[in-house]
Structure 1
């Protein structure tokens, strides 16, 4: 039964429990778990948290991301390179999460810092998915609507994370439970969507799935309109003018540097997205690739080092690694064009996989992401950051080289069917990704100084997402340089896979210059001291950078940490998705992951 242990409610089986007690135990445990959170925060807050993470993000990302690939191929008739550029532009909202938080802090809507923005996001989601469902859009309008759709899923994540952080501060004993609810809702929503999306694609098509996605916007619009977030409305007389609030924010010795980086990332990501899509000059491939490299190496990287080193040099280098790690690994959805079921692919002896099977591939991915988390916690949590990243990158090379076996049809020659071979790769890919993503999340959180935890953590996750988009743009350029990697012949596809696989070794060159020596078990001071010597460690301690409690590390439904899975199993899963850092209790209290 349920009993009070200290200040926390717990539920456990009574002595002499029967078989029936064990059968109903999981359901009753969940009921008691939700009950105690509802008593502490109200059922309305628990409800909107579940709908925001489980329906809006978990289901919304999986359904819309899966349908978008078919929509771009079948309705917009985009080539793999063109689709990579379009996808990079549509994912820009996930790179601006720090900006959402800053704007909501400075500009309340009708006296609310979060609820008003949730209403805007929900309305945008309903409108965007209705347009995708009802109208036969051309290329440019379609991409613009996709941007709005992703905004409707990216911005509520920031608002809910901030609300969870506030609740964790006022009720620190419930901080792990709140985070478990976030993770659980996100995972269950994504798992359910993955199990159904393949059959939905076969029965109602991509536009039909967009119609179902309207519900993901309603899932946050209605609860927010009914006040489920339980946000107190500010007295209009206490609201400062926007200019004064911005001036005060820029006077913060730490926050202003985070703001500068967020602004730079915003402008560069928007520019690159539109430039990659709308530059159709004669040498657009070379120009796009050159501009992308210039922006990444000559603008973003120096900006990170200059601005964030004003907070901490170890933070600046680690944030640079988080960005560059994805930026120097080209990725595209060209394999999706090659293995999906079309008449041309089937006639040429390509895998010809139907949408139903592709959906179950995502289900397997979710299951083995969980396995990867367990393996990380059990075997790799004590490894150093450098060892984990190097080991993971080497494994990624071999996982990507499995695609080379696939596209050369060697697996068929030795008697292994495409579906069996692909499921084998689906087992390895998510596990390897999780081995590198978990320490990256922990490193990003631990290096966030007190006072700007949530904003800086959101910035780091936005940088990770931006790095993946840069990789998409570079993948587009690589496809163009090779030429012929297009349906129906897919010439040079094996060469592209080989080059793409070898680029997974490049982040290893960045590990020793940018990644600290510590391990996920070390606190921020030890990491800084080991990486930069006693002077840097003293500087960090003087600024109050102790071990930051980690209570709001969250991955997006597609992994995605808010990664957007493209079945190549080689991307960082980061869109999504990811939250901020909540400081729970005293500075020396360590929250649970």
Structure 2
């Protein structure tokens, strides 16, 4: 009896509610999974956007940044954008400004490829005839100057004679071709020096050219509609001017022959300075004597 009374007086303690874990409902599980999927999608999208920039940063760290800039300018802006933009706008220029028949325009389009056919000659010039010890930088400047002069003549001279207009348009394409050959020589040299990055350099060329061509074809109609064909051709002075800038900033070592001649000149000047000092010393000694 005493035990029964004791149990009545001291009932069994109820379990603490704070220690009980509420079971996870199916809705909460679904919400957690959906949140995780959204976060993973955002992370993957961000990494996908940043991946090209990280890739270019890797190339810039292992190669010279000015070389990567040169590839983007030549393949992306000069060849990709300017090439596609030029194809569309030049057709409207012949039709709207020069009033040339379509049969003649087709002949002129075929002549545009003459500078590209001469690419072996441009490549030979860059290899055989360095300017002040540099094989690449002067030809970037030459390509830019040729493009700037030809573009400004077409854009600012009103209606030119057909032959003169054709020469100027050929000059514009020649500037693009010379810059293309010059940057190809830089790519070949870096591919030999760092062979493991050769595929990356080719991918950078293709990527830059494709993006530039896409932008050029997409915007050419807009500029022709709002500015006219002649003024739109004048916009191509910007890529040519950037080629001139590239010729001054791209990193390139002087040729060995030029370095040897510089060393000989420096030694000659030092020897001349030493001999003049000895001559002065001799005169002073004679006067004192």
Aligned-partner SS, 2:164: helix
Residue 208 (structure 2) pairs with residue 181 (structure 1): no
Q: Which residue of 2 aligns with 1:170?
A: 193
Q: Which residue of 2 aligns with 1:314?
A: none
Q: Is the 8 A contact 1:125 1:148 kept in 2?
A: yes
Q: Is the 8 A contact 1:54 1:186 kept in 2?
A: yes
Alignment match of 1:18 (pick from 40, 46, 66): 40
How many angstroms apart in 2 are the aligned matches of 1:211 and 1:26? 36
Alignment match of 2:172 (pick from 139, 149, 152): 149
Q: Which residue of 2 aligns with 1:44?
A: 66
Deviation above 6 Å: which 4+ runs of structure 1?
A: none
Q: Is the 8 A contact 2:139 2:247 kept in 1?
A: no
How many angstroms apart in 2 are the aligned matches of 1:163 and 1:23? 34
Q: In 2 relative to 1, CA 112–98 (structure 1 residues): closer, same or farther, beyond 3 Å?
A: same
Q: Is the 8 A contact 1:132 1:207 kept in 2?
A: yes
Q: Which residue of 1 aligns with 2:142?
A: 120
Aligned-partner SS, 2:135: coil
Alignment match of 2:240 (pick from 217, 220, 239): 217
Q: Which residue of 1 aligns with 2:131?
A: 109
How many angstroms apart in 2 are the aligned matches of 1:223 and 1:103? 19
How many angstroms apart in 2 are the aligned matches of 1:70 and 1:43? 38
Alignment match of 2:92 (pick from 66, 70, 83): 70
Whose Rg is larger?
Answer: 2
Q: Which residue of 2 aligns with 1:273?
A: none
1:237 CA drift (Å): 6.5
Q: Is the 8 A contact 2:141 2:246 kept in 1?
A: no
| Larger helix share, 1 or 2 | 2
Q: Is the 8 A contact 1:48 1:224 kept in 2?
A: no
Alignment match of 1:58 (pick from 80, 102, 106): 80
Residue 214 (structure 2) pairs with residue 191 (structure 1): yes
How many angstroms apart in 2 are the aligned matches of 1:181 and 1:237? 32
Structural mapping, 1:420-569, within 5 Å:
none
1:94 CA drift (Å): 1.1
Aligned-partner SS, 2:235: helix
Q: Which residue of 1 aligns with 2:55?
A: 33
How many angstroms apart in 1 are the aligned matches of 2:57 and 2:99? 50
Residue 223 (structure 2) pairs with residue 200 (structure 1): yes
Q: Is the 8 A contact 1:64 1:209 kept in 2?
A: no
Aligned-partner SS, 1:232: coil
Structural mapping, 1:319-338, within 5 Å:
none
How many angstroms apart in 1 are the aligned matches of 2:203 and 2:140? 22
Q: In 2 relative to 1, CA 206–42 (structure 1 residues): closer, same or farther, beyond 3 Å?
A: same
1:89 CA drift (Å): 2.5
Q: Is the 8 A contact 1:121 1:156 kept in 2?
A: yes
Tell me the TM-score normalised to structure 1 length: 0.36
Tell me the TM-score normalised to structure 2 length: 0.73
Aligned-partner SS, 1:110: coil
How many angstroms apart in 1 are the aligned matches of 2:246 and 2:259? 27
1:77 CA drift (Å): 1.5
Q: Is the 8 A contact 2:96 2:229 kept in 1?
A: no
How many angstroms apart in 2 are the aligned matches of 1:83 and 1:144? 14
- Computed over aligned residues only, the root mean square deviation of the Cα atoms, in angstroms, reads 1.7
Number of equivalenced pairs = 222
Deviations 1:119-171 (A, max 9, x none): 10011111111111111211111011111111010111111111111111111
